[in-house]
Structure 1
Amino acid sequence: MPRYSRIAIFLHWTIAALLAFQIAVGWGLEDLGARGFHLYQWHKSVGMLILALTLVRVAVRLTKPRPPKSEGGWQGALATGVHVGLYAFMLGAPLTGWALVSTAKVKVPTLLFGVLPLPHLPLPASAHEWAEDGHGVIAWIGIALFALHVAGAVRHHFLMHDGLIWRMIPGRSPALLVLLPALLLAGFVAGRAILPAGGEERAPTPAAAPVTNEAEAVEDAAPANAATADNSSAANASEAASETPVGPPPAWTVQPGGRIGFSVGNGDETISGSFSKWTAKIVMDPDHPESADIAVTIDMASASVGDAYKDGMLPGDEFFAAAAHPSATFTAKGAQATGPGRYKASGTLSLKGVTKPQTIRFTLSGSDAVRKVTGSATVARAAFGVGNGDSSTSLAPQVAVTFAFSAKRKD
């Protein structure tokens, strides 16, 4: 019996396994929210791979001889229709998916398998709805065609005993007759295996009290050791703060090597990152914290969580809107001692065009001329419109901010 070419056989089984993987992953994506971010990237990457392999498969079909049709009549017409439909599915599903991503309100960058950037198609935003609907409809039609194709192969091999399936098995090998169809099951199992634990159910967001006042939320998140400082130390700090400073408070220069980091719960994981570009202007006499004048400016485009996909999303409108609001600033006039070397500064945070009260807590340590500064704050992200899209639904309402740097007193 004449067979398909080796390249056609290879492409047939490879695409089939990848389609089984896509079907398994696709079923679990819709309700995962932000937890499914990496899976969406895999889904897009595998989809583009299927598109590329299908184009090669079409070229092979047009240039390489293939076995003649085995049946006529309505059975042959049905087989031809299923084949044509499968080709349309293998081309249409990735193309509509590409259009869907390209026209989405939130522009999510795509790096194919984490390496190759996929450009967005030049389509209007109005095309998003038809792309989304089309992708869903094509997927379900493709699943039906996939099942019909498998059923046809089973019919020919086990009911008609005509050996038709050997046309897609190199060397008429009984071992390959088992192993190659098993690739479909392996692809489906692999797709289900990479879904987050708990299947399609959304993981619970870490428990947090409703935020009714940003300043109150920050106070509630203050480190426990600050709240449990002994009374005598707090009293001494308060007394020291009440003394009149001698001369103007010193200014401090932030030394290289500092860090401003952030972290937020995301279902059953934590996303952590930092800002690589920021400046701080600090004037303060540690013995008289009411003299403090603090201004910190952060370049929002410098945010990174160490993941190319997510880093590409952070400057977008869903998160920091860095094009319209390139920087965030925290300013505070005066601070309050909460214990030996520990302070609290209440000021304002301006982020994404919104200004709200914000409190930070920090600790000073070291010699008179050089001090090490470590501190933290809790920011209610919704108050600033950070994480306002579909991919942020699993994010916790509060973002923990930490900072650590050394500062040298100016002479």
Structure 2
Amino acid sequence: MPRYSLAAIILHWAIAALLAFQISVGWALEDLGARGFALYQLHKSVGIAILALTLLRIGIGYWKPRPAKLEGGWQGALASTVHGGLYAFMLGAPLTGWALVSTAKVKVPTLIFGIIPLPHLPLPASAHGLAEGGHSLIAWIGIALVLLHVAGALRHHLLMRDGLIWRMIPNRSTALLVGLPALILLGFALGRMILPAAAPVTAAEAPAAEEPAATAPEAPVNITEPDNSAVANETVAAAEEPIGPPPAWTVQPGGTIGFAVGNDGQTITGSFVKWTAAIVMDPDHPETADIQVSIDMASASVGDAYQDGMLPGDEFFAVAAHPTATFTAKGAEKTGANAYRASGRLSLKGVSKPQTISFTLSGDGATRKVSGTATIARAAFGVGNGDSSGSLAPNVAVTFAFTAKRKP
């Protein structure tokens, strides 16, 4: 029986194994967040490799045409359709993935296997949603086509016993008949094996800020200088001595610290999953406030593994050298009904600057709801200092909201 060329056979099984690896890894990538950045880069590299190998196989197909079909009728038509669909899958999946990366809000550089830079496609940012949806749809269609292709091969080999499968085996070797398909299972298993371990407990699963920070904490908030009117307010407050020490408060689970920054007409939003706070304050005597907040910068996420993987790097938060951002403030001033302002210092990425936050309190008694806002000029802290940050707005808006209970 005529066989495919040796080159076509090698490419067939190599691409099949790589596709199995991609499918295995792709299922888990969206749930990995920043932990999946390195794996995402590998996923992109393997995808481009599949694209290149598929183009090579198409070229070899013109040089050495495939053997003639053994079956006609609707079965033959179905086989041809599946075969053509698989080529569309092998080309479409990498191309839509490439388009997805090229249209992301933050342009993440791609080095194929850490060596060859991959340029971004000249596509508008508005195409990102289409690329993302197309990539996912093509992947699922591809899985269905692979299963149909495998079912067809098994039908010919086990039911029809026409020896069709030997056309894609270099010779009639039982070892190769078993070993080559086993490469597909190996690719799938390898993809599962290299996935990062289960994610650590998040703020949604455990108290985000139940205990005071071990070190003097501080958190991203407003980069405005202290308002001179605070001096006058503090003078007035000094005349009203609070009775007894100010109460301490415990931040309850479920609080949030979020951030948003403009990017070429769009907005990137994210949050910090891990943070702690130690708060002492009498709302009737805000000058007694002692606020300490600490944020784990490695917990930052914008909900996209590509971009999350960039945040810990030197261009943004430099987490390896500066794992924590801290905000401290001694005293606050009342600016309106249930509205306050606290001026302190923010330490972020090794830089300490005067910082002001604005917040409101609601509720009374032993439980208060806190919400606030701030604005950070990122350049002052060296956040976003690389080529991929050129389109980011200069100011980052910070929001926070949580519930606090007074300690007994």
TM-score (norm: length of structure 2): 0.55
Match of 1:70 in 2: 70
Aligned equivalent of 1:111: 111
SS of equivalent residue, structure 1 residue 111: strand
Residue 210, structure 1, aligned to residue 228, structure 2:
no
Query: 1:21, 1:355 → 2: CA distance?
Result: 48
What is the match of residue 9 of structure 1? 9
- Aligned equivalents of 1:95, 1:313: Cα separation in 2: 28
2:179 is the alignment partner of 1:179: yes
Cα displacement (A) at 1:158: 0.3
SS of aligned partner of 1:8: helix
Aligned to 1:91: 91
Cα distance change of structure 1 residues 124 and 146 upon mapping to structure 2, 3 Å threshold: same
Match of 2:102 in 1: 102
Task: Measure, in 1, the Cα distance between the counterparts of 2:352 and 2:130.
Answer: 35
In the TM superposition, residue 174 of structure 1 has moved relative to its aligned partner by 1.2
How far residue 107 of structure 1 moved from its aligned partner, in angstroms, is 1.4
Residue deviations 1:280-333 (CA, integer Å, cap 9, x gap): xxxxxxxxxxxxxxxxxxxxxxxxxxxxx96798476xx369xxxxxxxx9xxx
CA contact (8 A) 1:101 1:120 kept: yes
Given that 1:112 and 1:118 are in contact with CA atoms closer than 8 Å, whether structure 2 keeps it comes out as: yes
- Quick check: 1:25–1:192 contact (8 Å CA) kept in 2? yes
Per the alignment, in what secondary structure is the counterpart of residue 117 of structure 2?
A: strand
* 1:33 equivalent in structure 2: 33
1:65 deviation in Å?
2.7
CA distance in structure 1 between the aligned counterparts of 2:90 and 2:352, rounded to whole angstroms: 46
1:219 aligns with 2:216: yes
Segments of 4+ moved more than 3 angstroms:
205-213, 309-316, 346-358, 382-387
Question: Structure 1 residues 71 and 352 mapped into 2: Cα distance closer, same or farther (>3 Å)?
Answer: farther
Who is 1:82 aligned against?
Answer: 82
1:281-300 equivalences in 2 (<5 Å): none
Tell me if the contact between 2:346 and 2:352 (Cα under 8 Å) persists in the aligned partners: no
Contact 1:20 1:184 in 2 (8 A): yes
| Amino acid in structure 1 at the alignment position of 2:188 | F
Gaps in structure 2 of 5+ consecutive residues: 219-271, 275-307, 319-325, 327-343, 357-373, 385-399, 401-408
Q: Which amino acid aligns with 2:49?
A: L
1:82 and 1:148 in contact (8 A); partners too: yes
User: The residue matched to 2:216 in structure 1 has which SS?
Assistant: helix
Q: Take 1:353 and 1:73, find their aligned partners in 2: how far apart are those partners?
A: 73
SS in 2 for 1:172: coil
* 1:210 Cα deviation from its structure 2 partner: 3.4
Q: Is the 8 A contact 1:108 1:312 kept in 2?
A: no
Question: Closer, same or farther in 2 for the Cα pair 1:62/1:23, shift >3 Å?
Answer: same
How far residue 203 of structure 1 moved from its aligned partner, in angstroms, is 2.8
> 1:287 — aligned with what?
none
Aligned residues: 251
Deviations 1:152-202 (A, max 9, x none): 00000000000000000002111100000000100000001111123xxx4
Corresponding residue for residue 136 of structure 2:
136
Aligned residue in 2 for 1:167: 167
| Alpha-carbon distance between aligned partners in 2 of 1:160 and 1:169, rounded to the nearest angstrom | 18
For 1:31 and 1:356, the matched residues in 2 are separated by 37
* Matches for 1:281-320 after TM superposition, within 5 Å: 314=313, 319=316
Name the amino acid aligned to 1:21. Answer: F
Q: Which runs of 5+ in 1 are unaligned?
A: 222-265, 269-308, 322-329, 331-345, 359-381, 388-396, 398-411
What TM-score does the superposition give when structure 1 sets the normalisation length? 0.55
- Whole-angstrom distance in 1 between the partners of 2:187 and 2:65: 29
Distance 2:181 2:58 in 1: 21
The letter of the residue matching 2:216 is E
1:57 matched to which residue of 2?
Answer: 57
8 Å CA contact retained: 1:93, 1:139: yes
RMSD: 3.7
Q: 1:87 to 1:356 in 2, by over 3 A?
A: farther
User: In 1, distance between residues paired with 2:14 and 2:142?
Assistant: 16
1:46 aligns with 2:46: yes
* 2:13 aligned partner, one-letter code: W
Question: What's the offset of the Cα at 1:219?
Answer: 2.0
Q: Whole-Å Cα distance in 1 between the matches of residues 348 and 150 of structure 2? A: 59
The C-alpha deviation readout for 1:255-302, integer Å capped at 9, x for no partner, is xxxxxxxxxxx999xxxxxxxxxxxxxxxxxxxxxxxxxxxxxxxxxx
Secondary structure (helix, strand or coil) at the match of 1:80 reads helix
Going from structure 1 to structure 2, the CA distance change for 1:122 and 1:181 (only over 3 Å counts) comes to same
Task: Give % identity.
Answer: 65
Letter in 2 for 1:150: V
Distance in structure 1 (CA, Å) of the matches to 2:173 and 2:348: 69
Q: 1:64 to 1:58 in 2, by over 3 A?
A: same
Match of 1:390 in 2: none
